[in-house]
Amino acid sequence: MWMHANRRRAASRRAAGVTFAVAIAGASACASVERLPDFDPASASLFETDRPIATLDLYHGAGGARWRPTARTYRFEKLDTTGVSPGMEVEDAAGLRWDVKLGPEARTEVVAARLLWAAGYHQPPTHYVAEWTLEGGPSPGAQPPARFRPEIPGWKNEGNWSWSDNPFADTRELRALYVMMALLNNWDLKTAQNVVYSRERETPRLLFVVRDVGASFGRSGWFDHTKDDVAGFEREPFLRGVDGDRVSLHFRTGYRREPRLDDDLRVGDVAWICERLARLRTEQYRDAFRAGGYARPEADRFVARLEAKVQEGLALGSRR
């Protein structure tokens, strides 16, 4: 069973620590729960307020050019069988290990991660590599385009965090993160996608990240969802309705077990995250899609729909 903490329980855990749910193997699997060591909540961070949004480099994204893969050949280490998209772990000549994802999410994840990072949410570096070669493994030789994510020295994956049980319950930043998922139409919201990174000798020490965000830029829904589908992304509405200070979204996740945070969404949550995204210039949006390997005509359709959704959120805020 998933752990669903109410607000009072979540608030008390902010003082004593937090329990994380372990990743599930699939949508129909029953989740086991592992209690990680308690920590000082002051060391945990979901969001960085001071990010200079209007000047960010969305082509290189989080980490900048430093973590961009430059090798043409990588040595096979092992297959990654944990997700729907095929993947593997590889190593470059310098000994740096990379998590590699193939398939349609290779493009969408790179773009979605950049927009989350631009808004202020923590993200690891991700890059799209159109041409590369594999040494060893089940299929050596030339490989299809892929998403590359480095294993940064000093960063440790501590486990998974739940949307309903975390140190940020009932905060604007957490509710706005859900709005971000709706802006991107990232319908794959399950605990297995949420990672806590601990960092050596860095502040804040613990980063709470929604990491695998490739199920984006399509049509959301429980059964008929798509990804990397510009027509579906263009057609889906953003806001469903407003009742006083409460907002409902058209967005629906692909897993009913995970909580729908839009039950508590407020006008200010939507307006706040849209105001941050409105600071991005059209060229920055285009840079994010260029980094994901999109041709300009298709990228411009995605960008136009994103900017329209942001403007819709801003207009909602102006009604207060």
Report the chain's mean pLDDT, rounded to a whole number: 87
Q: In the chain, pLDDT over 90 holds for what percent of residues? A: 72
For residue 15, pLDDT over 50 is answered with no
Neighbours of 246 (CB within 10 A): 13
User: Strands 206-210 and 44-45, how do they pair?
Assistant: parallel
pLDDT value of residue 169 = 87
* Residue burial 295-304, b: 16+ Cβ < 10 Å; e: rest: eeeebbbbbe
pLDDT value of residue 25 = 31
pLDDT level of residue 259 (50, 70, 90 thresholds): low
pLDDT tens, 275-301?
A: 999 999 999 999 999 999 999 999 999
- For range 199-205, the mean pLDDT: 90
pLDDT level of residue 190 (50, 70, 90 thresholds): confident
Between 14-23, 116-125, 207-216, 235-244, the lowest mean confidence (pLDDT) is in 14-23
Q: How many residues does the chain have?
A: 320
For residue 243, pLDDT over 50 is answered with yes
Q: Contact, 227 vs 236, CB < 8 A?
A: no
Q: Contact, 27 vs 192, CB < 8 A?
A: no
Output the CA–CA distances (angstroms, integers) from residue 257 to 31, 181, 253, in the order listed.
Answer: 11, 17, 10
pLDDT tens, 220-235?
A: 988 889 999 999 999 9
pLDDT value of residue 87 = 94
Burial grade of 241 (CB within 10 A; 0-12, 13-18, 19 or more): exposed
pLDDT level of residue 206 (50, 70, 90 thresholds): very high
Question: Tokens 């900017």 sit at which residue?
Answer: 307
pLDDT tens, 67-104?
A: 999 999 999 999 987 777 889 999 999 999 999 999 99
- For range 232-247, the mean pLDDT: 95
For residue 7, pLDDT over 80 is answered with no
pLDDT level of residue 319 (50, 70, 90 thresholds): low
Can you give the residue ranges of every domain in the chain? 7-64+105-123+153-318
- Sign of CA pseudo-dihedral 96, 60, 174, 40: positive
- For range 125-150, the mean pLDDT: 97
pTM of the model: 0.88
pLDDT value of residue 262 = 72
- 228 vs 36, more confident: 228
Rg (CA), the chain: 19
